[in-house]
Structures are given as structure tokens and as C-alpha cells.
Structure 1
Amino acid sequence: MRGDPGGYRSRTEPTGVEVAVKDLLVAVLSLCALAVVALGGWWVLTESELFADSAAEADPAETAGAFAAAWERGDAESLAELAREDDDTVRATYEQFAEGLMADSDALEVRPGPTEQVQDGRARTPVAVTVDGPFGEVSWDVELETVRERGAWGVVWSTATVHPSLRPGMVFDVVREEVDRAPILAVGGQELAGEREQVTVGFEPGTVADRDELVATFEEVLPDTGEIVERLYARGGLVDDWFYPVISLPAEQADEVRAALRGVRGVVLRSGTGRALYDAGFAHHVVGVVGPVTAEQLERLGPSYASGDEVGQFGLEAVYESDLVDAVRIRAVLRERAEGAVHEVLGEALAGGLDAVRTTLDVPVQQAVENALAGVEDEAAIVVVDAADGAIRAAASRPLTAYNRAFEGRYAPGSAFRLVTGEALLAAGNVPGSEVVCDERTTVGGRTVTNAEGPALGTTSLQQAFAAGCDTTLATLAADALGPEGLAAAAERFGVGTQPQLPVPSFGGSFPTPADTTELVEAAVGLGRVEVSPLQLASMAAAARSGVWHPPSLMVDDEPDEARQLAAGTLDDLRTLLRAAVTDGDAVAAAGAAGDGATGELVEGVAGTARTSGGERHAWFAGSWGQYGFAVLVEDGGSGAEVAAPIAGRLVDEFELQLAADG
């Protein structure tokens, strides 16, 4: 070792090539390490930071829910952020939606349904939209389509996302418009009064050649109008070249009278659109008419009316005046553009009035009543009531120019009150076969009673005496078997004295409990202090058909008042008595020309004659046919058997014709 000149060596020294290789390897390894670090850092950033903000929206149902919630609260900014569409377009659309339809921020409800995955990264969610406003509640359905892009979910937006009919450029809007005078409807929906093509018949005084001829012609061609012409002349001050309207007719009816009126100088017919009844005089007193507003009406109706306006003069036209004219129709619409044409009506409602006044009147039944009274020149009335519920199906009074005696008239019912007295006697234990006495005249409790129609049957059955109209029998039995309380209880079961809850004036009858036997006898035969209207007697006749008295009603939406049951076990026997009066008694003329029971329905009822202290003799018929109870009155007409019963017979014939035609 001493012989080595360089001393001791621990390892072999690298050469220059080896150093170069080593440096290159270190550099490569350093670059790889840096790449790995960079890749890991990018992965961490992407997964932990880039996706962190969309984690809450990674579920398409949550995205649809967030969109619906933002719409409901009116958050246009959030809607724009969630939608895959230009932010300004989305924001502006929802802002216009809110401005156009929603006066109240709580008026909108947006409810998403279950989300359905259509394919990976795409889903659909049904959404129900409801807006509640002055136009009512409007609803529609849309569909939200959600897609995932770069890991985040968003809504594929179009105008159809807001409403299926919305197109670019369209706007939402609320439109308010005043409506014409609302119609008055029958139960079947027909317009009893409404706007239609019509002809107004009147005259010009300056061209009238003969006033008497003018009045006579009007009265002959259009009954009850002659009196109107006379009243116009009587008030004086007529201007020669002015047109004075007398009556308005549907255009088709005017054609029937045009020829008859054309030859009379001064008569003028003017065509146009206006308020008219279903037919001339049809349900005239109940429905009413419109006419120029008077000074008194102007003061009562207030500043919304002006001289020259037409207003309801009586009947339902007057009662519902403000409801008929004050309505404003409010519509939610889609327009082509602001102030542009309406593309679609989304919903509508009325404010401040009614879309229609709906009555229980039935057109075929009313037509039957009008036809039955055709040619009747006396003061008369007919009312028809549905036995099932008390609904008034028809009513008419004559003359047309007088008051509504069908509802408001107060008359002694006379022997038509047998409906009540007969039921009371049956409730007291009598039967149709009970033996009774029918004398022409009798005195009970100091009161002399005479049979109105004059029968004197002697000893007979209750059925025969009832059918013949033996007031003497009823008076005697009332004093012997009923007493004041018994008869008063029966009157109460038939609703006598109950005020009808109708929108128009009416009278429900009067039956003070008799104070003594004399008053009891008078009450039993429908005289003394007993009074009814045709309306009340019709409702009583309906009760005698069904066994239940229903308070009469006129409006479809009226809540029914409490009904009253007739005495238990009396209905069948009462109907037997009423039927006998038509087959063998004083009401045979009510069977009708077609023959009783020709259509399977039998007439039941009684005629009645009421002699009053004033010397009048009111003629009555009270009875039923099918589902209807009805009363016929001819004021001071004489015998019920000879005057009212034949009109009832015509009514039954008309029932069969009109109802068969109506199907």
C-alpha cells in the first residue's frame, strides 16, 4: 500500500459522462413530480370548488322546485339564473306576467308535480299554475324541462314554460268592460227578458186621423194596449211629430201584427235592438218591463243614472235594477302585444252585479197559463206551483196594465177553502164515507150559511157533500168536530198567514183564529176574516197533491224555508175528496176538453165561489195536475163552477200540449 503514490481511495470516482446522465435523470423526475402535483391540485379544485356551488342543484327535482318557488315569490333574478336562456328575456317575461295579472303578491300559486327522468342528464316536471284575481281563479299546466350541463342542472326555457299559449311578443293583461243589462232567465235558461231584435209599436200624434180608431185597433190587435194609448193622450202635451212607444214585440211576433196595424193612420213600427220579454206580455207582472227613467226614479237611483236612461219599472226588472246594470266583466287575457288584439281569454268573472237573474219560472208552463187566459177580459189571475218544492213555475194577471193580483191580491177564498176544512175534518176522524147532511141553507152559531152553488143533497156521504160544494155541511161539521183551534191548526199546516219570501210584493193569506162559533163557521167556508192570494191558494193546492206545504219560491238560488206536513193519514182521503169534485161535483169543467186523464194525469181540485160583504162573487178553482198545484181566480166573475173551472180545464189542455211539445 506504501507503494501507492495517491494514498488511500474509498470509492471509484464517476466519469464525466456519468455525471451528465445523472443530471438529466434528476430533471426528468422533477418534471414528473411537478405534473403529478399539478394534476392532483386540478382534481381537488374541480371536485371540491368547481362543483361546490351546484351541489344543491344536482337533483333535477330540486332545480324544478327552486324554479317554481322563485316564480311564486316573484323573484325574476333567480328565475333568470336557473333558466338556460338570455337573462334579460326571462327576467322581462316574468316581470310582465306579474305586472299584467297580479294585483296581489299572494295571488299566485305554482306547484310542481313529480319529476320524471327522461334520460341521463334530462328530466321533466309538470307544474300547475293558479292565479287568483278579480277575474276569478285561473289555472293552467306547464312542463319544466331540466338538463344537466357540466354537472349543473338548469331549466330549458321558452315562453311555453310560462303559459302554453304564450308566444314571443304577447303580453298578459286584465280587461274590464261594462256589460249590457243582464238577462232574466227561466229555469230552463231561456231569456224571459233580454236584448234582442224587436219592433216597437207606437204612434205619432200629428198623423193620427181618428183617435178612437187608433185606440180600438191597438186594443183589438194587441190586447191591453188600447188603455196605454188612452193614458198617453190623457196626460196631454203630446208633440205632433214625436214617436210615442206603446209596446215592444219580438221581431217575429211583430210580423204577425204588422198587416193589421198598417192601415191605421198614425201607427208607427220601429225596428231595432232592445230589451224585450220572451213574448209580448209573457210573465209580464213578475218579470216586469223597462222604460224611461222618471224624475222620482232618478232621485232614488242616484247619480249613476241620467235622464233618458231606461230602468226597470216594476217586477224583477225594478227589484234587481242595480244588479242587472252595475256588473263589470273582468277578463284575464293574452294579447298579441300591449293594447293589441286579444289572443285568448284565460278566465273571466263579473264584479258589482249579476250575470243573470235566474227564476223558477218554466217557459212551457208559463205559455200554458198565457194561452189559458187568452180572451179573458175580466180581472183574472193564474199561478202554478211545483208540488215537489214550492217553486213558482208560472204566474199571470189580467189586465196587463193593472197590478200583480196573482201575487198581491187579497180575496176571500169562499168554498175553495174546502182544501183546509176538508183536511181538518179528516184529521178529526171523518172519512170520505162518513154520513153527513147537505141542506141548501142552515144556521150555525147565529150565522146563516147558504151553499154557493145551491146543492141540497139531504143525507149523503162526506165525499158527495164535499164534491158538490155543500158549505152548509162543512160549517156544521166545523162547529161540531173542530172548534177554532182545530181549524186554525189546519190553516197553519197549509201555510195560510205565512208571508212569502219573494223579491216582489206578495201576500201569503190571513187566518185569524176564530173568536167564536160565528167566526168559526165563516172561516170554515172561506169567508169572514179569511183571505188568500192566488199564489197562496196555488201553494195550498200543491200541498193537497203531495202532502207537504212548501213556501213558494221564485228565485233558483233561494234557500228553501221550512216545509209543513199535512195531518198524518189524511192525504189519500183528501185526494179522494178532491178527485170526486172533478168527476162528480162542481169542478167537472176542470177536466179539460181532451178528457180527464187523457195523458195519464188526473185532475184533482175544487171550484169555489166567494160572496163578499161588498156584493162581489169571486170565482175560484184550486187544484192540481201532475206535479203542479194551481189556482185560477176571476175577480167578481160569478160562479167558480161556471167561470173558473172552465179556465182550469183550458189550462190542463195547455199543460198537455205545451209540455208534450217541450218533450
Structure 2
Amino acid sequence: MAHYDHDDYSYGPRPPRSRRRTVLGALAAVLVLTAAGFWGYGRLSGDGPEDPQIAAAQKPLQTFLDAWEAGDAKKAAAVADTPDTAESLLESVTGNLKPERTEISLGDGEKRSGTDVRFPFTVEMELPGVGDYSWDSQAKVQKKEGNWEVLFSTPMIHPRMVPGPTLALDPAGDRAAVLDATGSELEAASLVGSVDEKTGKGVAGLEAEYDKQLSGGAKKSVVIVDRANGNTVKTLKKGGGKKGSPVKTTIDPEVQKAAAEALDGVTKEAAIVAVDPRNGHVLAAANKPGGMNRALAGRYPPGSTFKVVTAAALLKGGMSPADRADCPKFSYVDGQRYENQDQFTLPAGTTFRESFAKSCNTFFVSSRGKLSSSALHDTAEAFGIGSTWDAGTTTYDGSVPVNTSDNDKAAATIGQGKVQASPLVMASVAATVKQGEFRQPVLVPAAAKDRHKTGASLDDRVLKDLRSMMREAVTTGAASKLKDAPGETHAKTGTAEFGNETPPRTHAWMIGYQGERNVAWAVLLADGGSGGSDAGPVAADFLENLG
């Protein structure tokens, strides 16, 4: 038989479990009782009480205990003398303790008078965060007007209780909190995650990833609490284990608030990420709706926001922002037609700078001949894309495979095909342009022991040109929704196709950084339309909220 921890108080010796008694045990009990000549009051035998009055009294009590065991407070209370009081306390006890298992064993009844029978019983529970806990109690059943009913009292539920309080589980403050960069409790539900109220374990987000640290392995205490104010009256079983320790993140509460508020009116699945270019600290990661942390771990085609990487590869290969970069209506590769959004064109003599600012797909597709099959893959490495990041939490770190065909390369130049990224990755792309080198994003610094460092880098000329081109995308190009945003914004729009519908559905992107502030960011509206017209206003709201 399994061992159960008992409460320090015991109402006499633990009663036998009548429902599990063997035939031999039952016969032995009958022999003992007969030999002892116990005729003053009846006793339960293995096959039931010898005294018909005890048998009759046992029936309502058995109904009460079976219903309590099953969690049916209303059914239990129906056989009690004060049903409202019984139902209220039983519901409170069951709701507070949330037992994973309840077993109640009824002992032998003792007749005190013709209308009064007492029964001992044992309650055994398996409680979340506590384990096995049991106690002994007793019940009084009385005959009134020809019917037997359970005389309900608070001590019947637990002998150390008095009327008024109830039983509960007390974590005693053992579980620590997830904190922001200021040391305050983090207010970002999709990052923090959740704790199962029944088991006390973290089941999502950082609460799950750092469950052991946050909980400290501590067990909850079983306590008697005042039902009026929730104060602990008495501890019945003290929880063991050490106190949990907090998990501190890099989230800046003001930046997180600005991001969350920018998503308030968004009806699509969306995310905003902000990072500090100097050290990669994640300043904000907002998701709408909550649940999946698409901000850090979502996988999406980045569309034209990836043209920052393609432009870096072309600049590295010798192109200049002033070079001619024609933008026709269509570009064809192996029978595949590529076009610009709404099939726009730019006039003859358009420069590389202008085609980047206006986000001309046909120019970038046509420029694939200037790139080797590994050029985009190699340039992406300078932005940290495709490596394994140790950010102290789960992240998706992007993928830019070496191109395997001309069409594959054409799609990759505009962030389609096999190119995949998370909002965190694209915010880091913008941060790398501002900082001049890749600094791996990190959310929980204490846990990020092996931060990735790239072997590749971007030279000063390439960085200078990228910065001026991203600024022009705001002042004269597709990111003009941010023209009046504070902080000297540099940006790139993105409209990424996905699925097989005609016309294709699109994700809306906007990435950028602030020249006057150490913040780089990415906005994603999944299945959200156009980067400039749909993601742009959300990005503008975010930057306005930052001030």
C-alpha cells in the first residue's frame, strides 16, 4: 500500500478501509465482536453492519462521502441537515485544493443512542504542488422524524477547522516572477506565458522554459484560511523546497508598452520587435493575439525587407547607389513572371538608390546575374541569419540557403522562395545596419552563455550606402508613412507573398531603426496586406508612442 503523509492531528486510530477488506478479515472481525459480546452498540462487519440502525445510518453518510469523493458538493449536501452550509464549504474546499485524486474510507459505526450513530473516516487526497495528504475525521448521523441525515459541521470536513474558515493551498510566495529590465514584474503576457493553476507548473512562455528556476522546486502548503479575507489561520502541512529565483529579461517597459499599444487596433495576427543595436538586447516583443510568440519564433517569408541583405550583396559586389537600375513592369526567369506591387514601373534612368527606395522587384530579380549562388547566403551570415542564436529563450534565427537554380536565386533576391525569417531576425537586420556589425539578440542575458558571433562583416562603404538608402525609403520611397515619425527614421517596407491563391495573399512588413535613438525594430502583420500602406501606419504609431 502507498504511504500517505498525515496531518499532525489524528482523530483516534486510523479506521480500517471497509470497501477493501478481505473475506478473511471480515470473518475475523465477526468472530472477535461475537466473542467480546458487544451488544450495547452495533459494529460494521466486512459484509455490512450487524445492527439495522447502523446500517440505515450508514447509507446517507456513504452517499455524502461518495459525492464528496466525486467532487459533487450539491449531491453530498442533499443528505445533510444544513444543505446550503454543506454545499458552500465543500465547493470551497474542492475549488481551493483542486485535488487530482480523492479517496474517502469509511470506518466502523458506533451507536451512541437509538437516534445517534458516529462513524470515523479517512480522507486521502493527491494535491497539486503538495503530493499525498490525508487526515482522519468523524461524522455524526442522526435520525429525525424517521429519516437518517448527516449532521453537517465544519470540523467534520477537517477536525482542525472551526466554522468560518476553509482549506486552501498556499504557495507562500515561493514562485518567483519574470522581470523586465528595471526589475519590475514583466507585463507582456505572450513572453511571460502562464502557470497551470491546478499543478502550479509553468506551461507556456518563460514560465515554462524557466519553471525549475522560478519555482525553486518548492511545494505548496496546505492551510486553513479565513474565507472572508483570505488570511492564513493555520498551516496543516508545510511545503518543502527552496524559494524560486526570478528570471530577469532585457525588456524595456516603456518600449514594450509602446509596441503593445501600437497593436491595439490591429485585427490580424501581428508582432512588433525592438532591439538595442549596441548589445542586441530585446527591448520589446509584442504579439497580437497572445499565445504563439510569433515575434521571436515565427517563420515567414520576409519579402522586400530582405532587399537590405540583397542590396548589401550588390554593394559588396561593386554596385553604387547612383548606378542605373531599371524598373520595368515585368521580369521573366525560366518562364516565371515577376512583377512589382500593382505592376508599377519607374522611368528610364532610375538609379539603384531609387529602385531600393521604391522597392522595385523587377530590378532586384534582374540583378541576380551579379550574384553568385552563395552570395545571398554569405551576405546573410554577416547579419547573423541562419546561425544558431542563444538568446535565453526559443527563437527562430532565419534561413537563407545557397541558391540551387536561377529561379531560386531570383525569388531569394526579393525575400521569397526559400528565404525565411522571424520578426526578431528582421529587427536584427536593421540593428546591424545601424550598429555596423551584428550583435546577437538576447532576451535573458544570464542564460545566454554562447552568443553567436559572425565570421563575416560589412565594410564601411557598404554600411554608409545602406544607411542612406534606408533613409531615402522614408523620405521619398515606399516607407513614406514614417516621414513625420520622430527620431530620424531609416526603414524598408516588405510585402511577402504566401500560399497558392490567385492573386496571392501577402504578409505586410516594415523594418527600420532610429538615427537619434538606440532602437531598431520590425513590424509584421500576418496576412496583412501591404508593407507600406498597412504595416506602415502601425510602425508610425509605435514610433509616435516611443516619443
TM-score interval (norm. to shorter): 0.5 to 0.7
In the alignment, which residue of structure 2 is the partner of 1:583?
A: 475
Amino acid at match of 1:650: D
In the alignment, the residues of structure 1 paired with residue 277 and residue 191 of structure 2 have an alpha-carbon distance, to the nearest angstrom, of: 20
Residue 190 (structure 1) shift:
1.4
Counterpart residue identity of residue 467, structure 1:
A
Tell me the equivalent position of 1:640. 531
1:599-638 deviations in Å (ceiling 9; x for gaps):
xx21111111011243320000011122111111101111
Point out the structure with max Rg over C-alpha: 1
1:440-487 deviation line (CA, Å, top 9, x unaligned): 21113543211135431132111111000001111111x221121222
Q: Which 5+ residue runs of structure 2 have no aligned equivalent? A: 1-170, 219-240
1:483 is aligned with what amino acid? S
Query: What is the CA-CA distance between 1:408 and the residue it aligns to?
Result: 2.1
Aligned equivalents of 2:305, 2:476: Cα separation in 1: 16
Equivalent position SS for 1:512: coil
User: Which AA in structure 1 matches 2:529?
Assistant: G
Report deviation, 1:566. 3.5
Alignment match, 2:466: 574
**Distance in structure 1 (CA, Å) of the matches to 2:374 and 2:199:** 54
Q: In the alignment, what sits opposite 2:522?
A: 631
Measure how far apart 1:415 and its partner are. Answer: 1.0
- Cα distance in 2 between the residues matched to 1:506 and 1:423: 24
Residue equivalent to 2:437: 548
Please tell me whether the aligned partners of residues 175 and 243 of structure 2 are also in contact (alpha carbons under 8 angstroms): no
RMSD, aligned α-carbons: 2.2
Counterpart residue identity of residue 509, structure 1 = G
Are 1:362 and 2:267 matched, yes or no?
no
Question: 1:415 touches 1:609 (CA, 8 Å); kept in 2?
Answer: yes
* Deviation for aligned residue 1:311: 2.7
1:439 shift after superposition? 1.1
In structure 2, the partner of 1:612 is: 498
Q: Select the residue among 179, 183, 186 that pairs with 1:185.
A: 179
SS in 1 for 2:201: strand
Match in the other structure for 1:475? 365
Deviation, structure 1 residue 409 = 1.4
Query: CA contact under 8 A between 1:285 and 1:404: conserved in structure 2?
Result: yes
Q: Tell me which residue corresponds to 2:227.
A: none
Matched, 1:319 2:313: no
The whole-number CA distance in structure 2 between the counterparts of 1:395 and 1:367 is: 10
**Closer, same or farther: CA 453–653 of 1 in aligned 2, 3 Å:** farther
Normalized against structure 2, the TM-score is what? 0.61
- Cα distance in 1, alignment partners of residues 475 and 264 from structure 2: 26
**Structure 1 Cα separation of the partners of residues 268 and 296 of structure 2:** 17
User: Is 1:466 aligned to residue 460 of structure 2?
Assistant: no
Return closer, same or farther for 1:446/1:352 CA change in 2, 3 Å cut-off: farther
Letter in 1 for 2:476: D
CA deviation map 1:288-332 (0-9, x unaligned):
12232xxxxxxxxxxxxxxx343322011111112112267xxxx
Structure 1 position 650 matched with structure 2 position 536? no
Residue identity over aligned pairs, in percent, reads 35
Question: By how many angstroms is 1:563 displaced?
Answer: 3.0
Shift of 1:381: 0.7
Query: What is the correspondence of 1:323-402 to structure 2 with a 5 Å cutoff?
Result: 323-326=213-216, 354-400=244-290, 402=291
- Residue 307 (structure 2) aligned to one of 394, 418, 441: 418
Between the two proteins, the alignment pairs up a number of residues equal to 348
Paired with 2:295 and 2:440, the residues of 1 have a C-alpha distance of 16
> How far is the alpha carbon of 1:503 from its aligned partner?
4.2
* Aligned residue in 2 for 1:539: 428
Kindly state the Cα deviation for residue 423 of structure 1 after the two structures are TM-superposed.
Answer: 0.8
| Distance change >3 Å, CA 321–CA 604, structure 1 → 2 | same
Counterparts of 1:174-323 in structure 2 under 5 Å?
A: 179-192=173-186, 278=187, 283-292=188-197, 308-323=198-213
What is the Cα deviation at residue 560 of structure 1?
5.8
Partner of 2:139: none
The C-alpha deviation readout for 1:74-94, integer Å capped at 9, x for no partner, is xxxxxxxxxxxxxxxxxxxxx
Amino acid at match of 1:586: A
The code of the aligned residue for 1:604 comes to H
**Structure 2 counterparts to residues 131-150 of structure 1, below 5 A:** none
Helix, strand or coil for the counterpart of 1:571?
A: helix
Q: Distance in 1 between matches of 2:244 and 2:361?
A: 50
Residue 377 of structure 1, CA deviation: 1.2
Does 2:366 correspond to 1:487? no
SS in 2 for 1:484: coil
Letter in 1 for 2:531: G
Distance 1:531 1:465 in 2: 23
Distance 2:381 2:453 in 1: 11
Q: Distance in 2 between matches of 1:469 and 1:613?
A: 22
| Residue pair 2:485, 2:543 contacting (<8 A) in 1 also | no
CA distance in 2, matches of 1:471, 1:447: 13
Q: Does the 8 Å contact 2:215/2:245 carry over to 1?
A: no
Residues 219-243 of structure 1: CA deviation (Å, up to 9, x unaligned): xxxxxxxxxxxxxxxxxxxxxxxxx
Is the Cα contact below 8 Å between 2:273 and 2:285 reproduced in 1? yes
Separation in 2, partners of 1:489, 1:453: 32
Q: Secondary structure at the match of 1:370?
A: helix
State the SS of the aligned residue for 1:418: helix
Equivalent-residue separation in structure 2 for 1:517 and 1:484 (angstroms):
8
- Per the TM alignment, residue 389 of structure 1 is displaced from its structure 2 partner at its CA by 1.3
Letter in 2 for 1:288: G
**Normalising to structure 1: TM-score of the pair?**
0.50
Residue aligning to 2:405: 516
- Conserved 8 A contact 1:548-1:563: no
- Per-residue deviation at 1:390? 1.1
- 2: CA distance between counterparts of 1:480 and 1:561? 35
- 1:643 maps to a residue whose letter is D
Q: Separation in 1 of the partners of 2:298 and 2:343? A: 27
In structure 2, what is the equivalent of residue 343 of structure 1? none
Q: CA deviation at 1:430?
A: 1.1
* Equivalent-residue separation in structure 1 for 2:398 and 2:260 (angstroms): 24
Structure-2 separation of matches of 1:362 and 1:560: 23
Residue identity opposite 1:590 in structure 2: L
8 Å contact kept, 1:624–1:630: yes
Once the two structures are TM-superposed, the CA of residue 186 in structure 1 deviates from its matched residue by: 0.7
Distance 1:394 1:288, change over 3 A: same
> SS at 2:214's partner residue?
helix
Structure 1: gaps of 5 or more residues:
1-176, 193-277, 293-307, 329-350, 657-663
Q: Name the SS for the 2:353 alignment partner.
A: helix
3-state SS, counterpart of residue 631 of structure 1: strand
Q: Distance in 1 between matches of 2:377 and 2:201?
A: 43
